[in-house]
Structure 1
Amino acid sequence: MTLRCDLHIHTSYSRDGESRVEDIIRRAEEIGLDAIAITDHDTVTGARYALGQKTKVLIIPGIEVSTKEGHLLVLGVTDPIPAGLPVRKTIAIAEKMGGVTILPHPFHMWRHGVGLKLKDALELVDAVEAFNSRYIVGTANRKAARLARRLGKPCIGGSDAHHWRYVGYGSTLIDAEPTVESVLEAIRSGKTIASCRMTPLRTYTRQSLRSTWRRLQRRIPNLRR
């Protein structure tokens, strides 16, 4: 069967997420998604919490790891993966855990794209996020899609939603049964079709500025006074 999935979503458990798990799930139900992946930054707490919710939407646990070279999505894991390690080592850890590795926004200059620092990055992972809804122009998405096709890598689409309103803006059609194991295997096998629509520029800009301010606050404690 064909499942419509959003494979890149952040909740309030993420350091820059704005919406509760319950609101994310409710939105997914309202727009008819079959599955969502909870991929908070460097934590699986939100994913674990989501797994305990009563919903018809399939919850795929995951994490977006901040590697030394940039961000890496890992789907199908419920244990944390250390941040700050080289991406190659992080991928090896994820594989041992049985996770599916995906390069999110690999060529986005201000989004910690691994592909900008590691030329062979796309060859190392199971799949590539060829469509990410949080972009200003589509150049980076098109480059990711083009290189993924050249390498024969499966392409996925994700909203990268940091607010419930934008869940589903990026989606992936997956030929799989409604189980986590089936979805992960289908991604590995390339049984995916990715699509995307742009998150409103005003929202993207506001969220980016807020995220930058939070990072500055963590680095310079006096800013909090």
Structure 2
Amino acid sequence: MSISSGVYREKVTEGRIAEHGPTAVDMHFHTNHSDSTTTVAGALRRAKRLGIGVAITDHNTISGSEEALRSGSGVFVVPGIEVSAADGPHILLYFYDLDSMREYYELHVKPFKRSSPYLAIRQDTWEIVRRSMGYDCIRVAAHPYGYLLFNKGLQKCIEAHYLEQEILEHFDGVEVMCGGMTRTLNDRAASLSERFLKGRTGGTDGHLLHDLGNVVTVGPSTDLEGFLGDVVERRTTVIGREKNTLQKTVMGSVVMTKYFRYTFPSLRIHYEQNAPRVRKYLEARRRR
């Protein structure tokens, strides 16, 4: 079922990939290099069996992506990282080569990581965008209306007036289907892509091995430069389905175990990110 131009909510099949491909990539997947229990080797084996590529987009680190790129697995790997901004949004950066990704990480992410390494770094959204502009990469707004009660989506922060709408101009794409989001919010993300003519990506936001490949971004190019160009030029198609409630609950339970050792710094970061919402609520109450 097509929910928007270039977006199909249905099971990923070889036939559907062939219609729009040949290259299909799960563009948002996590490993045990951040808050998942899945190994890179396991992810690559599953990707190879499914005949798809993968972007290892661990939180604030590139070591998982580096391992995948150096593995010699034969799997199509997109160099990537998911950077968490101090003011909330998650930003997916996809690089055209490993050296650019490594330099960006060493200079602009690693020195700014906090005591809870998988949560927000000491840079806001504008600063992350500005620093990434000097590198050969594309910027994609991850789950732009997410996540739950948290300010982890770019457009969610824009519509809450925490960020200016103009910042979206500096993004090449929007994650129009995130496996961890609700159908309603993914539909809104797809509409956002159409309204502002942004490239389309989709991924599972998977943290468990069986998540991998349930949402894919499909493009006509077979090389990395061409595939990222397909995203920017809106030549990609996104196919997949969101996780159901049980799957999300299981995933959340597993992810939480990775944060136990960082409980107190994590609580502090969540408080700082959600303080604008609290202040806005209190100001509204005072005006009544």
User: TM-score when scaled to structure 1?
Assistant: 0.88
Q: Tell me the secondary structure at the aligned position of residue 187 of structure 1.
A: helix
Paired residue total:
217
Opposite residue 140 of structure 1, the aligned amino acid is L
| Match in the other structure for 2:28 | 8
Do residues 159 (structure 1) and 204 (structure 2) align? yes
Q: Percent identity?
A: 26
Larger deviation, residues 180-189 vs 123-132: 180-189
Do residues 138 (structure 1) and 176 (structure 2) align? no
Structure 1 counterpart of 2:243, from 193, 199, 204: 199
2:66, 2:82 → 1: CA distance?
14
2:41, 2:147 → 1: CA distance?
32
Larger deviation, residues 113-122 vs 3-12: 113-122
| Match in the other structure for 1:169 | 214
Say if 2:37 and 2:254, in contact at 8 Å, map to a contact too.
Answer: no
1:75, 1:181 → 2: CA distance?
11
Q: Tell me the secondary structure at the aligned position of residue 173 of structure 1.
A: strand
**Larger relative contact order (Cα-Cα within 8 Å, sequence gap ≥ 6):** 2
Larger deviation, residues 184-193 vs 145-154: 184-193
| Match in the other structure for 1:78 | 102
Task: Decide which structure has the larger Cα Rg and report it.
Answer: 2
Say if 1:61 and 1:78, in contact at 8 Å, map to a contact too.
Answer: no
- 1:213: how far off? 5.5
Q: Tell me the secondary structure at the aligned position of residue 205 of structure 2.
A: coil
CA RMSD of aligned residues (A): 1.9
Unaligned runs of 5+ in 2: 1-20, 96-100, 110-120, 160-164, 266-288
Unaligned runs of 5+ in 1: none
**Counterparts in 2 of 1:9 and 1:214: CA distance versus 1, 3 Å:** closer
1:201, 1:78 → 2: CA distance?
36
1:217, 1:44 → 2: CA distance?
21
Q: Tell me the secondary structure at the aligned position of residue 18 of structure 1.
A: coil
Structure 1 counterpart of 2:47, from 10, 20, 28: 28
Q: Tell me the secondary structure at the aligned position of residue 204 of structure 1.
A: helix
Alignment of 1:11-160 (within 5 A): 11-14=31-34, 16-33=35-52, 35-68=53-86, 69-76=88-95, 77-79=101-103, 80=105, 81-82=108-109, 83-110=121-148, 112-119=152-159, 120=165, 121-135=167-181, 137-160=182-205
Deviations 1:166-190 (CA, angstroms, capped at 9, x unpaired): 1111101112132x22222221111
Q: Tell me the secondary structure at the aligned position of residue 78 of structure 1.
A: helix
Higher helix proportion: 2
Q: Tell me the secondary structure at the aligned position of residue 191 of structure 1.
A: coil
Higher strand proportion: 1
2:158, 2:259 → 1: CA distance?
24
Say if 2:92 and 2:139, in contact at 8 Å, map to a contact too.
Answer: yes
